[in-house]
Amino acid sequence: MDSNNREEQHKTSRSKEENDQSLPAASTGIESLPREIMLQILSKLPISSLVQFKYVCKAWRILAQDPYLLDHLYPNQWTEDNQLCLIFQSNYPIKNQLYFVDFDAIYSGKETPVKKIEMPFCSSSPELDVVSSCNGLLCLSSDNSSITSVYNPFTREYRELPNTNQYPKQSVVLGFGFHPSAKEYKVVKIIYYWSNELTNLRHGIRRFSFPKSEVQVLSLGSSSWRSLGKTSYYLDDWPGQVLLDGRIHWESRPRRYRPHRNIISFDLADEQFREVPKPDDLILGNLVYLAVLRGCLSIGLYVNYGKLEIWVMKEYGLKESWAKVFNIGSYVPKALEQGLERSFMISRIAKRGSFNRVLYVLKNGKILLQYKCKALVLYDPKTEDFKDVGFKEMPNWCETVVHVGNFNQIDTIFGL
């Protein structure tokens, strides 16, 4: 889709919204309640109810978009299960598909149908993956970030970010987040590029060369990227980033002078990379990923025969605060008993299918896991029981994102 068509679609969508807002407000009776009470009620509703609430009338739409909800209630939603949703992002068999279901559906035990989210991208657009979810916004990117966008799936607003230099042979690691003190959204792009993949040496001996790097940062609302120079860290683009307290975290790959994997943070305030201490007796291998569980930086580590260990850093930055909190035994969900579909293996998401991931720890103590981009499972640490979780019309193969749904206005963030 070219830029003119995208801009025209955006204008059309915004014009429709403005026309809807010009309609006379219906008398509902809710207007007689004090504003604080109305906002407290709204803060307890799941996102699907808020979407319906928004379209009742102009007065309710304005209330659902009240800045108080965004600034004071939603940042604390990680402690409120009912205010979260699961977003399923799928590129197989049809690319660029998004679906969601309220978190309440996990507790209900019923096969609640997922709801499709209309994507603002045409069929000719490349495959897009979710980089990160932050304050109701999704950062989406194509392979090697030739297209990077910020999108609110519940307002359907999106903005495509400016392009950066493309190298003939490159790989890109992206990060997206919000710093609560600076109150600023930023996208971080680390580009690794090779002038020659193989370097010629004397006597005809050739060896693999490590890539050069370039770090760029874009503050949402700015028209151009800023270069921060290079980095000595070789970051892994998968399993991806995690955001905690204004810091983006990745795993690093081994390099010549750093032979071990480490946890690397990027502070969105001072824009500096730092190593995060890890337990002395814990070696980060290939089958490891990062997560944020109950507000703490966490590590998922695969051990013998499909078992999973979960380590949690209870006090950020304090090495001694790391503790192993969960030992999850091996389990094969019913959805995986028949093995992988052969045609699925051509999908880009297939490379991620080797991971079983902890998505969230529920208030009742049960753990929500995703197995190989295919199956959702609830694990009870007390009884050590597993329970398959299914939703009607859920994609067969997908990435699952725990998302805080809200009506954060992208135009406001971009200063439009």
Tens-place pLDDT, residues 304-323: 777 899 999 999 999 999 99
pLDDT at 414 over 70: yes
The C-alpha atoms of residue 224 and residue 219 are separated, in whole angstroms, by 8
Coil, strand or helix at 146: coil
List C-alpha distances in Å: 12 to 17, 64, 83, 156: 9, 22, 30, 12
Tell me the sheet residues that pair with 329: none
Fold of 77-198+208-404: Neuraminidase (2.120.10)
Where is average pLDDT lowest: 53-57, 118-122, 269-273, 333-337? 53-57
Q: Buried b / exposed e across 114-149, counting CB within 10 Å, b at 16+?
A: bbebebbbeeebeebbbbbbbbbbbbbbbeebebbb
Q: How confident is the model over 266-281, as a mean pLDDT?
A: 94
In terms of DSSP bridges, do strands 128-134 and 137-142 run parallel, antiparallel, or are they unpaired?
A: antiparallel
Q: How far apart are CA 333 and CA 235, in angstroms?
A: 32
Give residue 107's pLDDT band: very low, low, confident or very high (50, 70, 90): confident
Over residues 34-50, mean pLDDT: 78
User: Is the predicted pLDDT of residue 97 greater than 60, yes or no?
Assistant: yes
Pick one of 1.10.357, 1.20.1280, 1.10.3470, 1.10.12 as the CATH number of 32-76.
1.20.1280
Helix (H, G, I), strand (E, B) or coil at 42: helix
What pLDDT, on a 0 to 100 scale, did the predictor assign at position 361?
A: 94
User: Tokens at residue 226, please?
Assistant: 């800023």
pTM of the predicted model as reported, rounded to 2 decimal places = 0.83
Could you give the CA distance from residue 37 to residue 65 in angstroms, rounded to a whole number?
Answer: 15
For the chain, which residues make up each domain, given as ranges?
Answer: 32-76, 77-198+208-404
pLDDT band for 17, please (50, 70, 90 cuts).
very low
Res. 44 pLDDT band, cuts 50 70 90? confident
